[in-house]
Amino acid sequence: MKTTARFLFCAGFAASTPLVHAQSAEGLSFFHRDWELACDNTRTCRAAGYQDDDDELAVSVLLTRVAGPGVAVTGEVMLGNYFEIEAVDALPAEFEISLQIDGQAVGAVPMSRDSLLADMSTAQVSALLDALTRDSTIEWVAGGTSWTLSDSGSTAVLLKMDEFQGRLDTPGALVRKGTRDESEVLPPVAVPVVSAADLADPRAGDDQFIASGAIALQNALRSTLEDPYDCPSLTEEGEPEFQARRLTDSQMLVSVPCTLGAYNETIGYWVVADEDPYEPRLITTQGSNHDDGNIHASNKGRGLGDCWSLDRWTWDGERFVHSAASTTGMCRGIAPGGAWSLPTLTMNIESPAE
């Protein structure tokens, strides 16, 4: 396998060390060279691979596997449309894209120039998985142009997928196959449900909540920060631009702009008591907006907007529950808005009873 590739972690948006992984109750994120893995809290795993970071002909594949014994891997392929787009523009509106491994064709699938996305056939997925665990040349060919998919990092990522889903040493493992009974593979977990709650109606005088205690409120919010740079506006001179919205009879949602960067603006959100001493609970300093009980965070990995991190917190009447977390994959010029949805946390939101 190639060993010279570089990668960019587009959830943290920082240059990598050779091997990075993070695991929590919300799932798992794992990155190695030109491949990454996102497994969510239902135990569904998604592995995404890309072209070598020095290759301007961008391509990516997504391999998805739901948890449970005997479950097959499905695959998708996407061509990039940010760099070297002349090759894409030369394609007809509808065309076929062929997978070639070490110069041998493994079938073709239809693709549209509008989407540049196609589902892989079962035979292609099987051949690709086999190629990714050895030193291979993997190409997607259309219109006389070849897009080369890197295999650098793929073995480590597929091994981590097996480990997370409890498939190691079973016949269905992708990398480390064995004779352990397939029934021992971890089962899928049902998608959790968060019951959303209505916000309380505003009260007379709520519009004076900030003005009546801005300094004390600022000090209270500042005390929740582990690092002052998480929300510099709370530590700078002058009063931040507070906003407040009533949550319950005794609690308010307070927000304040935290950072203004080259391509991201972040907002901090806290649940506070509606009178001093406030007892603030920090939700996030990376928010983007709030609507009807949902706080959203949407941040670019770089100015091109080809990689994003996305989070959501939902009000359940007592607290804001972290109800979604995902990225769109590495910053590899695949598509505006990112190539894929790679969740590590997913929940269904149950609307308040009418």
* Average pLDDT for the chain: 92
Model pLDDT for residues 3-52, shown as the tens digit of each residue = 322 233 343 333 333 344 444 456 999 999 999 999 999 999 999 999 99
Tell me which residue of 300, 287, 283 sits closest to 225, measured CA to CA: 283
What confidence score (pLDDT) does residue 225 get?
97
Output the six-digit token pair for 235. 């530590």
What confidence score (pLDDT) does residue 236 get?
87
What confidence score (pLDDT) does residue 26 get?
63
How far is 255 from 264, CA to CA, in rounded Å?
Answer: 17
Tell me which residue of 115, 2, 121, 13 sits closest to 51, measured CA to CA: 2
Percentage of the residues of the chain whose pLDDT score is greater than 90 = 88
Model pLDDT for residues 200-248, shown as the tens digit of each residue = 999 999 999 998 889 999 999 999 999 999 999 999 888 899 999 999 9
Domains, in order of start, for the chain: 8-184 (2.60.40), 194-350 (no CATH)
Q: Where are the beta strands (DSSP E) in 237-319?
A: 243-246, 251-260, 265-273, 281-287, 289-291, 294-300, 308-315
Output the six-digit token pair for 293. 């009980």
What confidence score (pLDDT) does residue 304 get?
94
Please list the ranges in the chain whose pLDDT falls under 50.
1-24, 354
What confidence score (pLDDT) does residue 238 get?
82
Phi, psi of 208, deg, nearest 5: -100, 5
Pair 185, 61: CB distance under 8 Å: no
